[in-house]
Amino acid sequence: MAPDTAFCLYYWVRELSPKFIVESGTWRGFSTWVMRQAAPEAKIVSLDPIFALGHCLDSAKIGPGYWPADLERAGMDFSCCGFEFMVKPEPSLVLFDDHQHKIHRLQQAIQKGFQHIVFDDNLPGEATHLTFFRYLRDPAIKEWMEQVVDRFEIFPPLWDTQAGRSNEIFVPGLNIPRDPELACLDTTAQPRSGYTWLTYVRVKDSALAARHDPATVT
């Protein structure tokens, strides 16, 4: 996660003030650190299959990570965790920074009872996975999302930038003044922008309630 995306993540976490956060995809813990700064009292659970392979990796090549003593880490996938069976404090938040298909993760988050969801890597253009930009071209998926999603908001890039694996799409940004204090957030000069279209989704109460209604199970 590059600095400009981290800025947007900090904004969302500060706005939501979650008491419980699940992070799917953490690598060395930079996004974990960002969320801890934004919500210092929140309990954070970090999930990443890389944790299960730690004994096979050269720690010198990976470098230092952010692993505070109160952080709960697990080397399993979000889909395999039993969050649907736990009573979660409200508000609770899940961050998906794991390069998986977005609709699948949205369905899993709803099933496990999460109302607030942040997706990283929701790129327009080509990506390593299917993003909401691709899914929303399908009328059936668009209709389903209208039924279950109460709020869908993409934090725009701070400055004009390119998107996609080959920089194939131009996207206008907010183009705020490039003050020296903001220089660390500007990744537009890199070969590929570090910004990854952080997206916030709020699930409707009715969609969460439907999880427990036998009539909705097919």
pLDDT for 204 equals: 97
CB-count burial class (<10 Å; 0-12, 13-18, 19+) for 67: middle
Where do the domains of the chain lie, and which CATH numbers do they carry? 3-216 (3.40.50.150)
Rounded Cα–Cα distance for residues 18 and 92 (Å): 5
Per-residue model confidence as pLDDT tens digits over 140-193: 999 999 999 999 999 989 999 988 888 889 999 999 998 998 888 998 888 777
60, 63, 66, 92, 160 from 57: Cα distances, Å: 9, 11, 17, 32, 38
pLDDT higher than threshold 70 for residue 216 = no
- Quote the tokens at residue 203: 């699930």
Beta bridge partners of 171: 161
Q: What is the DSSP string of 50-74?
A: GGGGGGGS-HHHH------TT-EEE
What is the Cα–Cα distance from 200 to 18, expressed in whole angstroms? 13
pTM for the full predicted model: 0.91
109-130 pLDDT, tens digit each: 999 999 999 999 999 988 899 9
